């Protein structure tokens, strides 16, 4: 595999991965908001990438764009950067986990990552996947 470039836009408002919870019976479950978001990510990913899940070291770039209007709970601290919840690491976790078994065999193959969260007139998640080191 000489060159590799997978890119796409996921037309979703980003959702951070919520902690696994337990019910009164002690059974663990993934909160429905996280589960729904990850299913939506998987749906769009299948339209972007049709090959077998990759098992090579990968570099991933992610931009999480939040709607400029109607989404924020507090006044903006920055006109460009989204400096509120959800945290960037939780956004990465929900998104990267949802792509396991679709774009990559397991998220352990993601060895380089660059990501940011911004305000935008167009909300969504932008993804670029390349071979690590390229």
Q: What is the DSSP string of 90-117?
A: HHHHHHHHHTBTTTBSSGGGEEEEEEEE
- pTM greater than 0.85: yes
Q: What is the pLDDT of residues 55-114, one digit of tens each?
A: 999 999 999 999 987 666 666 678 888 888 899 999 999 999 999 999 999 999 999 999
**Structure tokens belonging to residue 25:** 């019976």
Helical pair 88-98 and 32-48, crossing angle rounded to 10 deg: 60
pLDDT in tens, 115-131: 999 999 899 999 999 99
- CATH code, domain carrying 77: 3.30.1330.70
Domain count, the chain: 1
State which residues form the domain around 65.
5-131
How many angstroms separate the Cα of 124 from the Cα of each of 13, 22, 70, 127?
5, 30, 15, 10
Write down the pLDDT at residue 21: 57
């Amino acid at each position: 595999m000489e060159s590799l470039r997978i890119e796409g836009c996921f037309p979703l408002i980003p959702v951070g991965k919520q902690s696994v919870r337990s019910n009164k019976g002690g059974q663990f479950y993934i909160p429905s908001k996280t589960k729904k978001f990850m299913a939506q990510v998987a749906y769009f990913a299948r339209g972007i990438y049709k090959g077998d899940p990759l098992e090579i070291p990968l570099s991933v770039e992610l931009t999480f764009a939040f709607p400029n209007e109607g989404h924020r709970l507090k006044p903006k601290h920055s006109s460009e950067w989204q400096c509120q919840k959800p945290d960037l690491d939780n956004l990465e976790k929900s998104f990267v986990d949802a792509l396991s078994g679709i774009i990559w065999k397991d998220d352990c193959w993601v060895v380089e990552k660059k990501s940011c969260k911004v305000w935008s007139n167009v909300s969504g998640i932008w993804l670029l996947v390349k071979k690590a080191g390229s």
